[in-house]
A = this chain, B = another copy of it.
């Protein structure tokens, strides 16, 4: 593992990642730097999503501001899953209200061959620089998380060209052209692994692999079309650096996702944390408050968070988080109250 000062190595978050006891349950929140927060909206009023991601000083600023404002136990570098597609010659745009769009999606086998191979260090150096800057200005005891999109989630965007309800094009491609599908997975393997390791070298203490859309697959499809590549990627992550492996949308995949790798498995809000952890056995778990709970009133937030802490029962290896990203309409006060509650309640054990 790269140099990790004792204040970081001993942090509640990294202890939990390693399955060690911690003085309280660490918490951070997916998309904790985002539109629900005024400080973020103020910056986004001046720059586009892509410009924010590509301006290291600003990306570092929103990363650090969010972590400090909320009092969470880890920061996650502000970036986007899909940036990695640009150097492959896919034309990525963020449309107002509609989210990301790929102008030239992959639809036939030949499109896979036309993908440009690239070096993350050259083409995504701005992310590494943001990691360096964020690490330098974060408090010395707050770990920084790097991340990447998992191959299935990236491929589904590459093929659909946008968010999808049914992933028709992706699945039809996979079933009709399994060889081209595996070529696409291969094309993603090296850059994703390098990209994670580059963020680690730049100063991240842990990484999360986001397989946000993988839940549209059955366990057998996951094992056949996805698991081998995820396993390869995760086995190439810098030794000693904890990996959080996160997916949403299908609790039936959890065992296969654990098999693919990760020190901590991210749970979405569709499962009970205790049942899921029992099924998974010896591994850490992260989660799993429904982001919609933060739209309700304070008593509901604390009640639901308390239920999750009770289910975890203070077992080492639990990182509190949402089951998916914070929603844009979330009141910041509810988020701060959640963080404080998790710290107080779990610290009192």
Check: A8 CB closer than 8 A to any chain B CB: no
Name which residue of chain B comes closest to A174, CB basis.
B296
Name which residue of chain B comes closest to A173, CB basis.
B296
CB–CB A275/B249 < 8 A? no
Kindly state the separation between the CA atoms of A249 and B166 in the bound complex, as whole angstroms: 11
Residues of B within 8 A of A215 (CB): 270
Instruction: Select which of B167, B219, B249, B275 is within 8 A of A271 by beta carbon.
Output: B219
CB–CB B172/A296 < 8 A? yes
Are A292 and B249 also in contact (CB < 8 A) when A218-B271, A218-B272, A271-B218 are? Answer: no
Are A300 and B176 also in contact (CB < 8 A) when A218-B272, A218-B290, A220-B307 are? Answer: yes
Kindly state the separation between the CA atoms of A295 and B107 in the bound complex, as whole angstroms: 14
Taking CB atoms and an 8 Å cut-off, the chain A residues in 170-197 that contact chain B are: 171-172, 175-176
Check: A111 CB closer than 8 A to any chain B CB: no
Residues of B within 8 A of A250 (CB): 250-251, 270
Residues of B within 8 A of A166 (CB): 291-292, 327
Name which residue of chain B comes closest to A303, CB basis.
B175
Chain B nearest CB: distance from A221 CB in Å?
Answer: 8
CB–CB A272/B297 < 8 A? no
CB–CB B219/A272 < 8 A? yes
CB–CB B220/A272 < 8 A? yes
Check: A329 CB closer than 8 A to any chain B CB: yes
Check: A341 CB closer than 8 A to any chain B CB: no
Check: A269 CB closer than 8 A to any chain B CB: yes
Residues of B within 8 A of A81 (CB): none
CB–CB B329/A168 < 8 A? yes
Residues of B within 8 A of A269 (CB): 218
Instruction: Select which of B168, B252, B329 is within 8 A of A275 by beta carbon.
Output: B252
Name which residue of chain B comes closest to A279, CB basis.
B252
CB–CB B168/A270 < 8 A? no
Check: A293 CB closer than 8 A to any chain B CB: yes
1/0 per residue A280-320: CB within 8 Å of B?
A: 00000000001111011100100010010000000000000
Which of A167, A171, A221, A270 is most buried by chain B, counting CB atoms within 10 A of its CB?
A270
Residues of B within 8 A of A290 (CB): 171, 218, 221
User: 3 shortest A-B CB distances, which residue pairs?
Assistant: A175-B296, A171-B292, A251-B252
Ordered by A's residue number, 18 sampled pairs between the chains whose C-beta atoms are within 8 Å are: A166-B291, A166-B327, A168-B329, A171-B292, A172-B296, A175-B304, A215-B270, A218-B269, A218-B270, A219-B271, A219-B272, A220-B272, A220-B307, A250-B250, A250-B270, A251-B251, A252-B252, A252-B272
Q: Mark A residues whose CB is within 8 Å of B.
A: 166-168, 171-172, 175-176, 215-221, 249-252, 269-272, 275, 290-293, 295-297, 300, 304, 307, 327, 329
